[in-house]
Structure formats: C-alpha cells, structure tokens
Amino acid sequence: MAAGSASYNQCPPGGIEGVARLAHLLGKPVIPINPVNGVERPRPVAVIDESLCIGCTLCIQACPVDAIIGAAKQMHTIVYDLCTGCDLCVAPCPVDCIAMVEVTPGKTGWDAWSQEQADQARAMHDFRNLRLQREKEENNARLAAKAAAKLQAVQAETPASEAERAEQARKKAIIQAAIERARLKKEQAEKDAS
C-alpha cells in the first residue's frame, strides 16, 4: 500500500471494518473487499487429521507464523493459539489432512480478532522472516567456508603431470565460481534486508 502497488481493500481477515479504518486513514472512500484476496468470514484455525499426516513438512514450510510443529516423517500438529487461519497450509498438503475450523462463529473481520491476537500474529510473522533470513545467511556462510577449505586443499596439492595440473585448474575454477556465487548471494541478501 505504501508503494502504491496494492489497494486498501485486500485484507479479508480485517473485513469491511478494516477497509473502513484504512479508508479513513487514507482519506479515501470505503470500497468492498477485493474477492481475489478472499471473503470476509469467521476466523478459522487449521486442524490436522493426525492419522492421515505423513510428515512431509510442506505445511510447516507454508505457515507464515510457525504455528505448525512436527518433523520430517513425523506427525504434525497445529498450535491453535498461533494459527491465523490464513489457509496457506491447506493447498500444499499432498494427503489433504488439513481442515479449517471456525473459532469465532458469528464474528467476522475486525470483530473476530483482539488487538492482542493481531499483535501476536504480526510478531510471529516478523520473527519467522528473521529466522529464515538468519538460516539462509548461516547456510551461505557454511557453503562459502566449505568451498574455501576445498580450494585451499586443492591449492596445497602438488600435481605431478600436465593432466593433473589441468584437472587442478579446473577444480580451482569450479570452486572459485562457487565462492563468487556465494558472495553475490550474500550481497543480494544484504540489499534485500535493507
């Protein structure tokens, strides 16, 4: 919205009351919620049929607030107090074991959330984004260190023949290219973070 690329009617969880509040802040008219983004409804939470869950972790990866716990090839479950009802975990599930259950019957949009719940959801979303960024940086650093160590090992070798020297040069080129890709990824990540 701040960049002008999104309208103020794209948040079904906030409902028409959320649209009205944003419209008031922006000095614009109240318009209906864009149906492309969903419809105003009672707030749901995800429920996993644990007897069907195969532990694929696709739902965990999709959850924007880390409300799903479990491990690969193990049953997963939902932390209901953290679930925002966004439905993002439903589509990736290959065995269709996730259902959305209403927890605020008769209350939709703004009335279905307390300010404390909204603040907690925002904090969990922000924390997840920071965690994913940290994990990506740590992985890139680990790969760069591994490539640097391999390059040092290759440089320490003393080839005896022309064929070995050519093979060593090829390995060095591959490793140096990997280091350069890691450096560029790190620079891009730093740009994206700022």
Q: What is the pLDDT of residues 5-53, one digit of tens each?
A: 889 999 888 889 989 999 999 999 999 999 998 889 999 999 999 999 9
CA distances from 180 to 135, 140, 141, 177 (A): 20, 11, 12, 5
- Residue ranges of the domains in the chain? 1-39, 41-112, 133-193
Task: Give, in words, the CATH class of 41-112.
Answer: alpha beta
Band (71; pLDDT cuts 50, 70, 90): very high
Is the CB of residue 99 less than 8 Å from the CB of residue 49?
yes
**Which comes out higher in pLDDT, residue 191 or 42?**
42
pTM: 0.68
pLDDT in tens, 92-107: 999 999 999 999 998 9
